[in-house]
């Protein structure tokens, strides 16, 4: 088990950015303290060839480039203060209405124009016999992106000897606010050689939140008999005729008690690679990357439509406006805690 750091570049204001490499000699995870972004996860295929299985870049400059940001897919970043969408940006807390930035159609998305994905975190490294750990900390000031309360956030990445990458989220506030943190890593188990439409997916979720224009109606509906039914393993493209733009939907995991539960997997037959997902969160937004931009990086075309699948464990979209949904309110004195594990398996 080992964790190392190296320079990753500078932001426009001159701030130094670092890249951290966590490894257990089977899996290697690279994370930068800019946006708490996972830039790479290297894992072996069934021929023991290790390759990067997530969408990301080798240079900080690419994350800051106009080409990338103009069609921004949030590759690998921590999303906050509120992941997913808030209808029309209307956020009411304790009788007071806050108007949030509109940055996705008519809605507020992923914390606003400058969410946690574009913030610089402070970093601490820890190395143990069976675990290496990167603790990233950010203070989101009262009024940042118009959210109330000074919110202190800790995101802890842990890689262990069982090839599990844990992501733990801790937060505390001095004023009642909302928090819905997630990670926006896109997986591609072919290491980018193909798109993800032939990946297989299994989910324990028997329900989804019914959506209209990406905003929940408030109804929870069954997946049985629909293209959203992955309760038996299915290829991502098994209903491509009915889902030509793929998926960008919130699956209900039936986990409102906050226990760490197994929620499913994605796998890819040719490589033998598989990623299992465990989480304390009640939902998972599955996004198959229809709008991912095609970029030219070092002279090569990369990414583009369906280039990765994001398994965003989180609370439901627009929870702030749906009283029947699990709450995303955080009050002074309370401690926010969520955990997700991605386990890397080669079959």
Residues noted as catalytic:
184, 312
DSSP one-letter code for 326: P
In angstroms, rounded to a whole number, what is the distance separating the alpha carbons of residues 1 and 130? 7
Q: How far is CA 117 from CA 3, 45, 80, 130, 241, in A?
A: 22, 30, 7, 29, 34
**How many helices (H) does the chain have, and how many strands (E)?**
2, 30
Residue 145: strand, helix, or coil:
helix
* 8 Å CB contact between 36 and 79: no
Q: How far apart are the first and last CA of the chain?
A: 23
Phi, psi of 227 (to 5 degrees): -65, -10
Q: How far is CA 164 from CA 26, 89, 182, 303, 340, in A?
A: 11, 36, 17, 26, 10
User: Assign residue 146 a region: left if phi > 0, alpha if psi is -120 to 50, beta otherwise?
Assistant: left
Token readout for 335 is 């401690």
In angstroms, rounded to a whole number, what is the distance separating the alpha carbons of residues 31 and 54? 12
Instruction: Give 102's Cβ-side CA count (13 Å radius).
Output: 8
Q: How far is CA 197 from CA 36, 164, 274, in A?
A: 28, 25, 15
Q: Degrees (nearest 5) of the Cα angle 92, 94, 97?
A: 30
Q: SS3 for 66-85, per residue?
A: HHHHCCCCCCCCEECCECCE
Rg (CA), the chain: 19
């Amino acid at each position: 088990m080992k964790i190392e750091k190296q320079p990753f570049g500078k932001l426009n204001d001159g701030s130094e950015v670092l890249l951290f490499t966590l490894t257990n000699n089977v899996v290697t995870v690279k994370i930068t303290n800019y946006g708490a972004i996972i830039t790479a996860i290297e894992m072996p295929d069934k021929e023991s060839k290790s390759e990067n299985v997530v969408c990301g870049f080798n240079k900080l400059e690419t994350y800051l480039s106009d080409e990338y940001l103009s069609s921004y897919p949030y590759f690998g970043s921590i999303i906050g203060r509120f992941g997913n969408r808030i209808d029309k940006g209307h956020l009411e807390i304790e009788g007071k209405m806050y108007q949030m930035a509109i940055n996705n159609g008519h809605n507020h998305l992923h914390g606003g124009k400058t969410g946690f994905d574009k913030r610089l975190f402070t970093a601490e490294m820890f190395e143990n016999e069976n675990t290496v750990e990167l603790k990233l900390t950010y203070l989101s000031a009262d009024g940042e992106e118009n959210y109330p309360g000074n919110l202190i956030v800790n995101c802890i990445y842990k890689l262990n000897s069982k090839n599990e990458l844990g992501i733990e989220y801790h937060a505390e506030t001095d004023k009642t606010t909302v928090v819905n943190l997630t990670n926006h890593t896109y997986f591609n188990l072919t290491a980018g050689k193909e798109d993800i439409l032939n990946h297989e997916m299994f989910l324990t979720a028997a329900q989804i939140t019914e959506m209209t224009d990406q905003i929940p109606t408030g109804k929870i509906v069954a997946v049985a008999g629909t293209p959203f039914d992955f309760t038996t393993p299915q290829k991502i493209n098994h209903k491509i005729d009915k889902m030509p733009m793929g998926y960008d939907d919130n699956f209900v995991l039936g986990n409102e008690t906050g226990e760490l539960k197994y929620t499913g997997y994605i796998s890819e037959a040719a490589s033998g690679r598989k990623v299992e997902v465990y989480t304390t969160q009640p939902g998972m937004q599955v996004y198959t990357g229809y709008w991912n931009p095609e970029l030219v990086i070092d002279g090569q075309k990369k990414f583009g439509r369906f280039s990765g699948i994001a398994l965003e464990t989180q609370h439901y979209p627009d929870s702030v406006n749906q009283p029947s949904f699990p709450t995303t309110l955080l009050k002074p004195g309370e401690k926010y805690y969520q955990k997700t594990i991605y386990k890397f398996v080669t079959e």
